[in-house]
Amino acid sequence: MTRIDTAALTARRVAEPGAVAAAWAGRRRRERLSADGRLLLIAADHPARGALAVRSDATAMASRPALLERLATALERPGVDGVLGTPDVLEDLLLAGLLDDKVVIGSMNRGGLQGAVFELDDRFTAFDADTLAAHGLEGGKMLTRVALDDPGTAPTLEASGRAVSELARHGLMAMVEPFLTVRRSPTRVENLLDPDSVISSIHVAAGLGATSAHTWLKLPVVEEMDRVLDATTLPSLLLGGDPTGDPGDTYAQWGKALGHPSAAGLVVGRALLFPPDGDVASAVDVAADLVHGGSR
């Protein structure tokens, strides 16, 4: 397993800030996203929104060296296609030499900080389409929460639609993660995870931008997933969310949902990086088998 020397990363950032751009330019890229039409991506963009908790541990993702070690373990497992993250995390992985031949998706809007009164005015504060294209990343991801009781939804929808169009002009994947959301208090919002709410969010997300030719969806696994996924023909990656309950039950839900024609794989962060038994490699191997089966 690759050990990431975080002290060396910091020293290099001080001495050679241009090394990041040079490393993007020299990164070896895949000829196509996936050999079998399916993807397993590791999500690592939670910290930039102030979301550090995993289960009951409020600071589980607070240590960057510890997070990078878990990411390195995951990315080196067979069947893992790539990673989704913000610039800081992706650049650490890039400088450590872990992104060659990987699908790399940049997280674009992290301004809706968890617990903030402005959480649903989810500003685009990270990657933009031009930078993603210039550095040769494969796409951009946007969280797009629709809260009918919060005016912050309107600018978020406008920004997401603009990002979808801009990514498409560069021929890059636009990964849209939609939720119907309600505000329970000034500082607490809740994503609605019943089938009808997820279906409504899918239709809103699919219509964003000037074209859907490069749009993929990132969707939660909920009840009645066959009916939920019947709401779209867009390729859909299933998200893991904050892991609760027995991992075996979670894997079974993922496996069942992956049988739908619209399901194109998984984008999972905490459930694979922080499994209850601490065995990241084994958790990732289960997910890889679910996504790629005997093809990997």
Q: Is the pLDDT of residue 66 over 50?
A: yes
In tens, the pLDDT along 125-144 reads 999 999 999 999 999 999 99
Dump the DSSP string for 71-136: HHHHHTSTT--EEEE-HHHHHHHHHTT--TT-EEEEE----S-TT-TTTTS----S--HHHHHHTT
- Give the pLDDT score at 296: 45
- Give the pLDDT score at 139: 98
pLDDT above 70 covers what percent of the chain? Answer: 98
**Residue 237, class by beta-carbon neighbours within 10 Å (0-12 exposed, 13-18 middle, 19+ buried)?**
buried
Q: Is the pLDDT of residue 295 over 60?
A: no
- Cβ distance 95 to 14 under 8 Å? no
The pLDDT mean for the chain works out to 95
Q: Is the pLDDT of residue 1 over 70?
A: no
- Half-sphere CA count of 22, side-chain side, radius 13 A: 7
- Give the pLDDT score at 135: 98
- Cβ distance 40 to 258 under 8 Å? no
| Better-scored residue on pLDDT, 296 or 234 | 234
| Better-scored residue on pLDDT, 93 or 240 | 93
In tens, the pLDDT along 109-122 reads 999 999 999 999 99
In tens, the pLDDT along 171-209 reads 999 999 999 999 999 999 999 999 999 999 999 999 999
pTM for the full predicted model:
0.96
- Give the pLDDT score at 2: 66
- Give the pLDDT score at 246: 85
In tens, the pLDDT along 262-274 reads 999 999 999 999 9
Q: Is the pLDDT of residue 16 over 60?
A: yes
pLDDT above 90 covers what percent of the chain? Answer: 93
